[in-house]
Structure 1
Amino acid sequence: MNKQILLVGPFPPPLGGISVHNQRLHQLLENESFKVTKVSTHNPNRNRLLNIFELLKQINRYKGNLIHLHVSAFESFVFVIPFIWLILMCKKDKKLVVTIHSGRFLSVYNKFSSINKLIISFFLKNTNHVIAVSSELKFFLMEEIGIPETKISVIPAFLPPDKNANDSDLRKVIDKRKKNVVIAGALKELYGFDVVIKAIKTDSNLLNLYNFIFVFYMDSDPDYAKQILNDCNKLGIHFFREMDSKDFISLLNLSDVFLRPTTTDGDSVAVREAIYLGKCVIASDSVERPDRVHTFKTSDPVSLINVMYNVLNKQEEKNIHDFNQNIKSIIKVYKKLNI
C-alpha cells in the first residue's frame, strides 16, 4: 500500500470542527507511517484568491496518487471544483476521496442554482469515494445525487483527542458548587448562544444550578456578537475567544455538561468529544444525534430549560465504544482504492 496522501481542507487556525478533525487525522496517519502533505484551504494571512491559487498549485505538483479533500457544505468551494477536476483529469493516476462534514449540505445543495448542482453532482459522482459523516447524509447522496452506495462510507468525524493536556489555567472558571456547562461555536445565530441566553432570562434559577462557560471561535456576525457579549457581561457568564483545541479538551474534561444548541448541524466533533470524555451532552434536535445525547426542541428555550432540569442529577454511563474505529475505517477506504 502506497502511504503517501495529500490532505486538503481547513487546519487550525481558526479552530473549528473540520480543522480539528484534519489536525488529528494528520497526526494519526503519521502514527500509522503515512507520509502526509497538508494543504489548508483557509489561510487567514492570505486573501481568498491566493488561497485558491496555492491550493490548485499544490494539487497539481503532488507526486503521490491519493488526495483526501474535506469540505463542509460546498458553499465557498463550488467554483473551485472545475479547476480541481481539470487537474485530476490530466493526472489519471490520482485517486480522490471527499469527506462531507456538514449536515447543512442537504439544505445548501437544494438552494444552489441548477448549474452549481450540476457541478457538484458531476464532481461527486466521479470522485473515487465519498465519506459521509451521517447515515442521513449518505441517503441524500444516494437518492438526490445518485452516487452508488458502494462508493459511500459513513464514518463519523470524531477522532480521539489527547486527554492529558494542561488544565491549570482553566480551573479558575470552574465552579464546584454548580454543574459546569460548556457551549462552543462561532458568534452566529446558527450556534444558538441566543437560545441559551433566552433560557437563562426565562428561568434565572438556572444560574444557581449551572455555571455557564461560552467558547467563541472563528468568524462572527458583528450585531449578533455585540448582543451576546453584552448579555454575557450582564449575566456574569464566563467566555473565551479563540481557544486552541487542547485547551478546549481540557475545559470539557473539567466540566460536567456540554451543550450544543445549534439550529442545524453535521456530525458535531465537539458532541462526540464530550461523549468520549464521559460528559452529559445536551443538544438541539436539529439533526439526528448520537446515542446518549439528551435533545431539546431546536430554538426553543423552554424545551432547553426542561431538559436541563431533567439531567441535573443524571449519572452518565461509562463509554464502551472503540473510538479508534473511525481512523481504522478511513484507512480501510484508502486500502479499498488499492493505494
Structure 2
Amino acid sequence: MRKTLFFGRFPAKKEVGGVTTFTFDFAEKFKNQDVEFVDIYPAVGKKEPAGAKIHYITGFTFIRYIKFILFCSFNKNNLFFNFSTLKSLIVFFFIPKSSESKWSIIFHNGEQEELYRRSNIFTKFIIRHLLCRFDKLGCLSSKQVEFFGTITKSQLCRVTPFIESGTLKKTKLNIEESSGPVRFLISGFPREIYRIEEIVDLFKSLDDKKFLLNVCLYGYGNEVLRSRVCNLIDNTVNVKLHSHLNKPEFDKILESTDVYLRPNSVDSFGLVVAEAIFKGGIVIATNVCERYPGTHLYKTDDYFTLKNEIEYIIKNRSTSNNLLISSPVNDLITYEEFIEHGVQ
C-alpha cells in the first residue's frame, strides 16, 4: 500500500499561523499512521512532534523549488499538499504526475475566490488546468466548495483544519471570579481584512474600562497599518501589543483569554477560533464563513452590534444571547477518510 506524504510548514521561532498550526497538529496525530511529512520552508527553531518522520527541503529559494519538483516528479505515493493561496499552484506546472499517485490539496487562506477573480484570463486558465490535476481538494467552507466547484472537476471534500486533542474546557467567564478585568484577544497579520485597527478603536471608546485587550500581530503585511496600530495602543494601559510570538507564547495568552474576537472581513475558517473555544473561551466572530460550533456570530463591520455585546460581557461576565451561535457542519469528513480515500 502506498504511503501518504504530507506537504506543509512546521512552526518556527516567532512564527504563528494557520498552515503551521495545522501541519504540527496533523503530524502529531498521524505520525504513527504511515504518513511522512515534507517541509520546504527552512527556518530557525522548527517545532516538530517527536517521532514524526520529516523531510526538509533546504537551500536557496530556486534550489528548493528544483528539489521540490524532483522530489514530487513521478512519485508513486499519495501526495497531500497544504498551501495558503492559489499562487502556489504554479510549481505544479513543472511536476510530472505518476499514474499510480493520488494528489490532494487544501488552500488555507480565505481569499481564493477574490484572488482568482482579479486574475487575467491567461492566469485563470492556468489555475483551472492545474487544479484538475488534483484528485481531491479539501474545502474549509461551503463558500470554497461553491467556488472550486465552478473551476475544477476534482473531488471536493469538506474538511476542518482543527484537529481536536484533549477535552473541551468549560467557559472561563462562568467559573472565574467576577472582580478582575475581562480578558479579550484579537490576533492576525497587519492587514486590513483582520480589522485590528477598528477593534482597538472600539475598545478605546468604551466607558467601562474593566477589560484587558491583548493584540497579537504576527508575520508581515501592511507596515503602515502596523505603525498605526502601534500608535493607537501606545500608552493605553488596558491594551497590550504582542508581536512575532511563537506558538507556545501565543497559546499561553490564548489559554488565559476570556473572549477571542475574530472580526475578519475575509476568512476560510479561522483555526484559532476553534482553539479558543476548545480552551474554554467565548468567541465572537464575523459570519463570513462557517465557524467552529459554539461561535457567536455577527455581520462583518457591524460594530454597533459588536460593541453592545462587548459592553454587555464586561458588565455581566456572560453573553447577551442576542447573537446567533454557529452549529455543527453535517457534511464534514475526517482526515482518516480523507487519507484513506487517497490511498485506494
Taking structure 1 as the reference length, the TM-score comes to: 0.81
Distance (whole Å) between structure 2 residues aligned to residue 251 and residue 161 of structure 1: 19
Partner of residue 12, structure 1? 11
Of residues 244, 247, 254, the one that matches 1:245 is 247
Contact 1:279 1:316 in 2 (8 A): no
* Structure having the larger proportion of residues in helix: 1
Counterpart for residue 94 of structure 1: 101
Distance 1:299 1:337, change over 3 A: same
CA distance 1:74–1:253, shift in 2 (3 Å): same
Is residue 189 from structure 1 mapped to residue 192 from structure 2 by the alignment? yes
Q: Hey, what's the Cα distance between the residues in 2 that align with 1:333 and 1:195?
A: 39
- Secondary structure of the 2:187 match is strand
* Partner AA of 2:289 in structure 1: V
Q: CA deviation at 1:128?
A: 1.1
2:141·2:289 contact (CA, 8 Å) conserved in 1?
A: no
Asked if structure 2 preserves the Cα contact closer than 8 Å seen for 1:161 and 1:249, the reply is: no
Structure 2 residue matching 1:57: 3-state secondary structure = helix
What is the SS of the residue equivalent to 1:223? helix
Could you tell me how far 1:297 is from its partner in structure 2?
Answer: 3.3
- Provide the C-alpha distance between the structure 1 equivalents of 2:86 and 2:43, rounded to a whole number of angstroms: 17
- CA shift, 1:302, in A, is 3.0
Residue 151 of structure 2 is matched in structure 1 by 145
**How far 1:272 sits from its partner (Å)?**
0.8
Q: Unpaired segments of 5 or more residues in structure 2? A: 45-57, 168-177, 322-326
Q: Distance in 1 between matches of 2:67 and 2:343?
A: 28
C-alpha distance after superposition, 1:293-326 (max 9, x if no partner)? 2233323433321221244432699xxx99xx98
Q: Give the counterpart of 1:291 among 279, 290, 293.
A: 293
Which deviations, in whole Å up to 9, do the C-alpha atoms of 1:254-306 show, x marking residues without a partner? 11111112221111100111122221001123334333222333234333212
Question: Shift in Å at residue 238 of structure 1?
Answer: 1.6
Correspondence for 1:53: 66
Shift of 1:136: 1.9
Distance 1:189 1:124 in 2: 29
Cα pair distance change 1:22/1:333, threshold 3 Å: same
* Whole-angstrom distance in 2 between the partners of 1:83 and 1:233: 49
> Match of 2:137?
130
The aligned amino acid for 2:5 is L
Residue 40 of structure 1 corresponds to 40
Partner of 2:180: 177
3-state SS, counterpart of residue 269 of structure 2: coil
- Segment drifting more, 117-126 vs 191-200: 117-126
Q: Distance in 1 between matches of 2:271 and 2:67?
A: 28
Give the AA of the match of 2:264: T
Change (3 A) 1:131 1:338: same
- Return the alpha-carbon distance in structure 1 between the equivalents of residues 298 and 205 of structure 2: 16
Cα RMSD for the two superposed structures: 3.1
1:1-339 to 2 correspondences below 5 Å: 1-2=1-2, 4-13=3-12, 14-31=15-32, 33-41=33-41, 48-60=61-73, 65-75=77-87, 77-84=88-95, 87-88=96-97, 91-142=98-149, 144-147=150-153, 151-160=155-164, 177-205=180-208, 208-236=209-237, 237-312=239-314, 313-314=317-318, 329-339=334-344
Q: Partners of 2:236 and 2:67 in 1: how far apart?
A: 45
What letter corresponds to residue 10 of structure 1 in structure 2? Answer: R
SS for the counterpart of 1:238 is strand
Answer with 129-138 or 154-163: which moved more.
Answer: 154-163
Deviation by residue 1:184-230 (Cα, 9 ceiling, x = unmatched): 1112222211111221233243xx13210111211132211111112
How much does 1:94 deviate? 1.9
Pair 1:6–1:338, CA change in 2 (3 A): closer
The amino acid across from 2:4 in the alignment is I
Deviation at 1:154, TM superposition (A): 0.2
SS of the equivalent of 2:234 reads: helix
SS in 1 for 2:220: strand
Look up the equivalent residue of 1:227 and give its one-letter code.
R
